[in-house]
Structure 1
Amino acid sequence: MAVDGSKYVKLKHAMLAFQVHPEGGQVIGKYTLVRFGDDGHEYRRETDFNGRGSASTFEFDGLSEYGVVTGTLSKDRTRLTLDHDLGVKTEWTIVSSTDVFESAVKEYAKRFESCSKKKDYDPCVDVT
């Protein structure tokens, strides 16, 4: 999951969930991008993608208008670095499950709701 945000662009949460099949290295996955509007409404976009991969290098096709996006897994297997940012960051943190991602989105939504009730429409302040 990668997180990026600013005062002018509402915070986005994104997840690349994929599997590499050992026979031939075929990659199949889903890219999920979640953002929040000024009213606190959650907007979610999901894109299926495919590609090829090995133990530490992956080529994702169908993720962006740039064409194939290349990713490299860090030696300690905790980060995935992409050659394009996909609307968030180029360095992604590896998480154990989709539940970790969904939990982070729900936690942010609670914070957004709390700030919006106070008429503070910048919930991205101090978000890490």
Structure 2
Amino acid sequence: MSSMNAAGDHLHRRMGIEILEASAERVVGRMPVEGNTQPFGLLHGGASCVLAETLGSTGAALHAGAGRIAVGIEISATHHRSATSGHVTAVATRVHGGRTLATYEIEITDDLGRRVCTARLTCMLRDAE
């Protein structure tokens, strides 16, 4: 399992993001809707982007390997429907894994399996300093 679930005051912990499965090819995680909403009680679009970037960056870091880091350089998201309760689950799937860039498509669904958001993240891979 990823060190993402380790203790520490990081954004993913504040938002309740849990990594359930992690490999360079595929990362699965979930996040509660409660506490991550906008004023109308709907899942905040920015929260979906944080979930997507957390999972995609985790996969990219695993792809990059030891002594290298992954830094998100571009994210796009289409919000298909709202979520108002329960959890959303995201699956990040690698679509490109090179030496300097890795790109993931992230599908976020609600508790009924309905697609809430589709995101795409590209990370730059570089040597750790």
- TM-score normalized with structure 2 length: 0.31
With structure 1 as the length reference, what TM-score do the two structures score? 0.32
Bigger Cα Rg: 1
Larger relative contact order (Cα-Cα within 8 Å, sequence gap ≥ 6): 2
Return the structure number with greater helix share: 2
